[in-house]
Chain A
């Protein structure tokens, strides 16, 4: 992780920029090509605001043909491309570069087809995640993956990052909920993967494409699976005196054969911050609060609710609160969902982390985080997806204090190391992007990175699609390791990493 502060300097080659803008205006309507600094500035970062760079150029094509024209042009003229959707990504998967054209796909935002009988929708990449569920709600259907950013984040970006969300413990990630992709390959040729059925002949290339952070192609059409809206949904909130009991509660619910639609946890720091913000009368003596959402048919949900309540009460659960109506559920969720604004009240900056640990190690990982938090003298709140072991430690710091920034970097790095040592991974849902590029040298061996590099070259032999993201080259890792340079202080940041 690297936290960069200060103003962004435009380091792009002005001659190249002028030339490219002129050329691309031959292919796209003039207003779709942005080249003036004040136009480029808003695109200097995605939701990982700590890393910024003024792009060489921004293009906003309005249809598939224009996207193709841009990709073909880039191929012919050896220009790097960075595809971007709504820019809500938290790992810098769409961080621009001064030597690459930012290809913004947000204007491709049509729902092309809805087939209620086969339960699929065909959409363009710029369609917002939530817009799909809204469009099919009247048919009694919904699109399951629901990243927290679903109001704004678009489906193209969801595919690029293999987004999950609160409900993926039951419904899976993007990769489990799509069946066909159309993308432009590095030459601008249209390729279709998957099909109308549940499987397609040959290698499962959809698996490679999903979560590839825009490094393998430019996705322009996605066929998503739709599911029947559940008949009944209930939300149960329970407090636990000790983190270990909450962790055990999570394990016991799952072991009892129940897969909740959502299973979220807040730790004591988060509870305190949230309570001071929205006054829900949350139990401040609790070390953890669990939010358990169950859905299904009426009868199914009621019987599961009885089992869950019995299980967690065996493990010390108290202050149980149940919400049945949509209104009550929204109210009960509001504690969890207001964590970010609540943190905004007590700190100038916070750093959102993303890592996973197997569920059985959750309590241990959280205790380690508390210890590290004390060691680095920084508060850490945890609000996260307990059901799938996806931690989101939120480090509270002051970005104007270089010492705190440095400590935040080190603390985050150590938390990731703890997660890796417990059999977890560097990212559950935010991706590697720019942010964790160097850290992923810790997760993968040289031969594994070489394998990734060969896969990348199958799709993008010249390395022009989203260069410098998601997968570091073995060479880069060797240099970091060999020189014992601390994370975030790499001497040659301009070094090619793809």
Chain B
């Protein structure tokens, strides 16, 4: 760990918050800036966390790591790998000027999870504890170092996916997982409906699954476990073995294929795994064994929303197209009920009564007057 920067900038950050509060400024929490596209366009003075970095505590036998918010994901993953461990939720490391970036704080604040998510859990499932600063400038510690903890409201998991609207994460304690000794990726040539049928069927069986994606007429399946367990499952599933699979999955996780960076918007539907496939022309990628469906194409927002509603799922415009302006609203298009919207608004106030932290970032109805909500 000695090679990595280890800096505690708590005092500086708290001072910056106090100053901004005194001047009525609005702060936008920024790590590496690798997810700037996500959520509504941020508005305010940047509060930089990259200088607040370093692993505070890591005990492999406890499967727990605590690190400052600005610690790079690449560093955490390298340190974990030395002990045969990994971040189970596979947070994406989106590229900034060609380099894979992303901090632990940013990963938790965005709450995005990679291909392994349906089988091991999401970002929020791995968050055990947080030290944070709310809009009143109070430094708070919630949660702990253990998976089991029923003391107080579960603020650490609430912070996951809150996009920095409730407060600044100073450090995060996360559960880590052992890297399984064997991993095999298989590919099968199938039609969309056949692929969904297989995904549903295989997920009902106790197979050591860790990835299931359908795109370009190919179902790609990853198995992780002991060598014997993976070999037995491989026999049951069949298909062709994919070489250099690690790179394939990392590329998917980080959304490097051009599919994820279209000229128009990249849309995301979150739904039950077995929900019917869309009859909407365009390019679809069905990830998470059916539970996460990506789209790019000519369909209108209204058409996509109809589909999402039909399958009881939710729709979001995940990423603006390469030809779109950054002011284009990137929103959760699915309706949030009035009572839930009201809770959002009140909860934001409960953490940040004066709106010190930019709330427009989380684009749901009611959270902030500046949000644009299309539905």
**Interface residue from A191, A198, A456 paired with B339 (Cβ < 8 Å):** A191
A23 within 8 A of B: no
For A120, what are the chain B residues with a Cβ–Cβ distance below 8 Å?
A: 272
- Please give me the residue from chain A that is nearest to B119 by CB atom: A227
For B177, what are the chain A residues with a Cβ–Cβ distance below 8 Å?
A: 259
| Among A51-59, A270-278, A352-360, the stretch in contact with B | A352-360
Decide: B272 and A204 in contact? CB cutoff 8 A: no
Decide: B117 and A198 in contact? CB cutoff 8 A: yes
**Interface residue from B144, B203, B313, B337 paired with A356 (Cβ < 8 Å):** B144
Decide: A390 and B228 in contact? CB cutoff 8 A: no
**Interface residue from A168, A258, A360, A445 paired with B59 (Cβ < 8 Å):** A360
Decide: A207 and B154 in contact? CB cutoff 8 A: yes
For A258, what are the chain B residues with a Cβ–Cβ distance below 8 Å?
A: 178
Decide: B153 and A455 in contact? CB cutoff 8 A: yes
Decide: A197 and B291 in contact? CB cutoff 8 A: yes
Decide: B226 and A425 in contact? CB cutoff 8 A: no
- Please give me the residue from chain A that is nearest to B196 by CB atom: A117
* Bound complex: CA A175 to CA B155 (Å): 13
For B337, what are the chain A residues with a Cβ–Cβ distance below 8 Å?
A: 191-192
A417 within 8 A of B: no
Decide: B312 and A211 in contact? CB cutoff 8 A: no
Interface residues of B in 183-201 (CB under 8 A from A): 200
Q: Mark A240-260, 1 if CB is under 8 A from B, else 0.
A: 000000000001101111110
B81 within 8 A of A: no
Closest approach, in angstroms, between the C-beta of B229 and any C-beta of chain A?
3
Decide: A197 and B148 in contact? CB cutoff 8 A: no
Decide: B148 and A356 in contact? CB cutoff 8 A: yes
| Among A31-39, A67-75, A293-301, A334-342, the stretch in contact with B | A293-301
Decide: B147 and A169 in contact? CB cutoff 8 A: yes
For B274, what are the chain A residues with a Cβ–Cβ distance below 8 Å?
A: 115, 117-118
**Known interface pairs A117-B204, A119-B204; A205-B227 also in contact (CB < 8 Å):** no
* Bound complex: CA A251 to CA B178 (Å): 13
* Bound complex: CA A185 to CA B339 (Å): 9
Interface residues of B in 82-117 (CB under 8 A from A): 83-84, 111, 117
* Bound complex: CA A443 to CA B153 (Å): 13
For B291, what are the chain A residues with a Cβ–Cβ distance below 8 Å?
A: 197-198
Decide: B153 and A452 in contact? CB cutoff 8 A: yes
A401 within 8 A of B: no
B250 within 8 A of A: no
**Interface residue from B166, B204, B228, B346 paired with A140 (Cβ < 8 Å):** B204
* Bound complex: CA A189 to CA B338 (Å): 11
Decide: B61 and A255 in contact? CB cutoff 8 A: yes
* Most central of A161, A424, A457 by chain B CB within 10 Å: A424
For B361, what are the chain A residues with a Cβ–Cβ distance below 8 Å?
A: none
| Among A6-14, A40-48, A405-413, A428-436, the stretch in contact with B | A428-436
Q: What number of A residues sit within 8 Å (CB to CB) of B?
A: 97
Decide: B125 and A176 in contact? CB cutoff 8 A: yes
Q: How many A-B residue pairs have CB under 8 A?
A: 274
Q: Mark A181-197, 1 if CB is under 8 A from B, else 0.
A: 00001000101110111
For A358, what are the chain B residues with a Cβ–Cβ distance below 8 Å?
A: 59, 62, 64, 145-146
For A325, what are the chain B residues with a Cβ–Cβ distance below 8 Å?
A: none
**Known interface pairs A119-B204, A196-B271, A197-B270; A390-B148 also in contact (CB < 8 Å):** yes
* Bound complex: CA A231 to CA B111 (Å): 33
* Bound complex: CA A106 to CA B258 (Å): 53
Closest approach, in angstroms, between the C-beta of B44 and any C-beta of chain A?
20
Decide: B144 and A425 in contact? CB cutoff 8 A: yes
* Most central of B144, B151, B161 by chain A CB within 10 Å: B151
Q: Mark B147-159, 1 if CB is under 8 A from A, else 0.
A: 1111111110110
A312 within 8 A of B: no
Closest approach, in angstroms, between the C-beta of B86 and any C-beta of chain A?
10
**Interface residue from A119, A175, A298, A429 paired with B203 (Cβ < 8 Å):** A119
A496 within 8 A of B: no
Closest approach, in angstroms, between the C-beta of B52 and any C-beta of chain A?
20
* Bound complex: CA A201 to CA B78 (Å): 32
B256 within 8 A of A: no
| Among B9-17, B135-143, B259-267, B296-304, the stretch in contact with A | B135-143
B76 within 8 A of A: no
| Among B21-29, B205-213, B320-328, the stretch in contact with A | B205-213
Interface residues of B in 206-223 (CB under 8 A from A): 206-208
Q: What number of B residues sit within 8 Å (CB to CB) of A?
A: 91
Decide: B161 and A443 in contact? CB cutoff 8 A: no
B273 within 8 A of A: yes
A426 within 8 A of B: yes
Decide: A297 and B272 in contact? CB cutoff 8 A: no
B225 within 8 A of A: yes
Decide: B312 and A389 in contact? CB cutoff 8 A: no
A318 within 8 A of B: no
**Known interface pairs A197-B271, A388-B146; A228-B205 also in contact (CB < 8 Å):** yes
**Interface residue from A117, A168, A196, A252 paired with B148 (Cβ < 8 Å):** A168
* Bound complex: CA A296 to CA B224 (Å): 12
* Most central of A120, A257, A385, A445 by chain B CB within 10 Å: A257
- Please give me the residue from chain B that is nearest to A206 by CB atom: B157
* Bound complex: CA A297 to CA B125 (Å): 24
Decide: A172 and B147 in contact? CB cutoff 8 A: yes
For A450, what are the chain B residues with a Cβ–Cβ distance below 8 Å?
A: 138
* Bound complex: CA A120 to CA B275 (Å): 12
* Most central of B146, B233, B337, B364 by chain A CB within 10 Å: B146
* Bound complex: CA A258 to CA B134 (Å): 38
Decide: A196 and B311 in contact? CB cutoff 8 A: yes
For B30, what are the chain A residues with a Cβ–Cβ distance below 8 Å?
A: none
* Bound complex: CA A397 to CA B61 (Å): 35
**Interface residue from B61, B151, B350 paired with A443 (Cβ < 8 Å):** B151
- Please give me the residue from chain A that is nearest to B127 by CB atom: A207
Closest approach, in angstroms, between the C-beta of B225 and any C-beta of chain A?
5
Decide: B151 and A426 in contact? CB cutoff 8 A: yes
Decide: B270 and A202 in contact? CB cutoff 8 A: no
A162 within 8 A of B: yes
Decide: A198 and B122 in contact? CB cutoff 8 A: yes
Closest approach, in angstroms, between the C-beta of A443 and any C-beta of chain B?
6
- Please give me the residue from chain A that is nearest to B167 by CB atom: A451
For A333, what are the chain B residues with a Cβ–Cβ distance below 8 Å?
A: none
* Bound complex: CA A255 to CA B63 (Å): 8
Decide: A458 and B312 in contact? CB cutoff 8 A: no
- Please give me the residue from chain A that is nearest to B57 by CB atom: A423
Decide: B364 and A201 in contact? CB cutoff 8 A: yes
Decide: A440 and B157 in contact? CB cutoff 8 A: no
**Interface residue from B149, B162, B225, B346 paired with A458 (Cβ < 8 Å):** B346
For A173, what are the chain B residues with a Cβ–Cβ distance below 8 Å?
A: 147-148
Closest approach, in angstroms, between the C-beta of B151 and any C-beta of chain A?
5
Some 7 contacts from A to B, beta carbons below 8 A apart, are A198-B117, A203-B347, A356-B149, A359-B61, A451-B138, A451-B155, A455-B350
Q: Which 8 A-B pairs give the minimum distances between C-beta atoms? A: A300-B229, A257-B178, A207-B157, A251-B61, A197-B270, A201-B332, A117-B274, A428-B148
